[in-house]
Copies of this chain bind each other. A is one copy, B any other.
Amino acid sequence: MGMSNVASVGIVTPQTAHFSEPLALKSGAVLPAFDLVYETYGTLNAERSNVILVCHALSGTHHVAGNYSEEDKYPGWWDNIVGSGRPLDTDKFFIIGVNNLGGCHGSTGPASIDPTTQQPWGSRFPVVTVEDWVAAQARLADKLGIQTFAAVMGGSLGGMQALQWTLSFPDRVRHALVIAAAPNLTAQNIAFNEVARQAIITDPEFHNGDFYAHSVVPRRGLRLARMLGHITYLSDDAMGEKFGRKLKHDAVKYSFDVEFEMESYLRYQGDKFAGEFDANTYLRMTRALDYYDPAAQYNGDLSAALAKAKAQFLVISFTSDWRFSPARSREIVKALLENERTVSYAELTAAHGHDAFLMPDPQYHAIVNAYMQRVAGEIV
């Protein structure tokens, strides 16, 4: 048995692209100019035909893989899938991660300075949609001279962007990897988003979205939103396995302080997020999820909506994902098959719930790896 050649992408540096042409958004608003921050891993080939776009989910960023310094302990959010010998093999592919428009990690968003007022956009930053993100990502592709992506991929909200790429720009995507996604949100999904948004909006320090001027942050609301989010990312079983009814202390204290490990975990995750993430971005990311529904303009006929797609698809779902259940992925697969598209579908047994798409499950990674080898084989 020899050592495998698997390796991280190492130290990476984000770049910023500026776009001075206005972008007309789905809402009717127009963004006069914007920046997108992005990272790349691997080498662009001469034909510019080996490019993979990785789209991020609600709280993700352009920092998909690698580390920012030798001391940086936390690699990018999908580091386990990107690198030499990994499913997104940097020996073959040129991989791009972009922070979405409206984000809070470098791309233009609500905390950015509006050049016309020299104040943060705040409440005036428009509502952005999955379609808008795809349009902005296409601008970046134009700027980088990339006509066609070998693959566009993502999990959760990122999977919705991959799907939308095949509809907005059918000729610019060879393969779409749509993982742990859905063709739209259910009422229950919308309900969870609404509670999270109301937690933020009713936080007295939200100041109607213009909290920047008050030098405060709606931490309480963000914290609650994130705590709630974490419940929906994990399966009941995974939570039971990890925390169960384990107590934090030797005995119950009969108080409202932390009694159970479960509570401690949620508070930690909530506090961490509240110190890092922008409240206005959170509102917009969840609204983009709510609004996404390509079948809506076809009277709910998803098959009709996906007729435009020309890409080949890999759709993956996870059995314990109750946020975007396998049944929702099957709706996408069915609609694609009705259009006689080439679709591979894997419904994977996984304990982790929605978060499974981020986990280095060997079967899951083997499937992505095999599919990406096929994609690599087609590159001219």
Contacts and interface: CB of A to CB of B under 8 A. Distances in A.
B262 A190 contact: yes
A111 to B, nearest CB: 17
A223 interface: yes
A28 B290 CA distance: 48
Contact of A190 (B127, B223, B252, B263): B263
Contact of A245 (B190, B240, B254): B190
A256 B201 contact: yes
Contacts of A27: 254
Interface stretch (A52-60, A113-121, A192-200): A192-200
Given A198-B227, A201-B256, A186 B239 contact: yes
Interface of A is mostly: helix
A127 B254 contact: yes
Contact of A266 (B194, B230, B239, B296): B194
B290 A191 contact: no
Nearest to A227: B195
Contact of A191 (B26, B188, B202, B231): B231
The complex is assembled from copies of this chain, and their number is: 2
A184 interface: yes
Contacts of A203: 220
B223 A187 contact: no
Interface residues of A, number: 56
A197 B220 CA distance: 12
Contacts of A223: 198, 202
Interface in A1-51: 26-29
A243 interface: yes
B228 A291 contact: no
B202 A245 contact: no
Contact of A192 (B191, B194, B231): B231
A234 to B, nearest CB: 8
A202 B188 contact: no
- Residue among A184, A185, A199, A270 having the largest count of chain B Cβ atoms under 10 Å: A199
A360 interface: no
A225 to B, nearest CB: 10
A239 B283 contact: no
A365 interface: no
A259 interface: yes
Given A188-B239, A191-B262, A202-B220, 9 more contacts: A186-B240, A190-B263, A191-B266, A194-B267, A195-B231, A197-B256, A198-B227, A254-B291, A322-B322
6 contacts: A28-B254, A184-B245, A187-B239, A194-B227, A195-B224, A260-B290
Q: Closest 9 A-B residue pairs measured CB to CB?
A: A27-B254, A187-B239, A127-B254, A187-B243, A188-B236, A202-B220, A194-B263, A187-B262, A195-B227
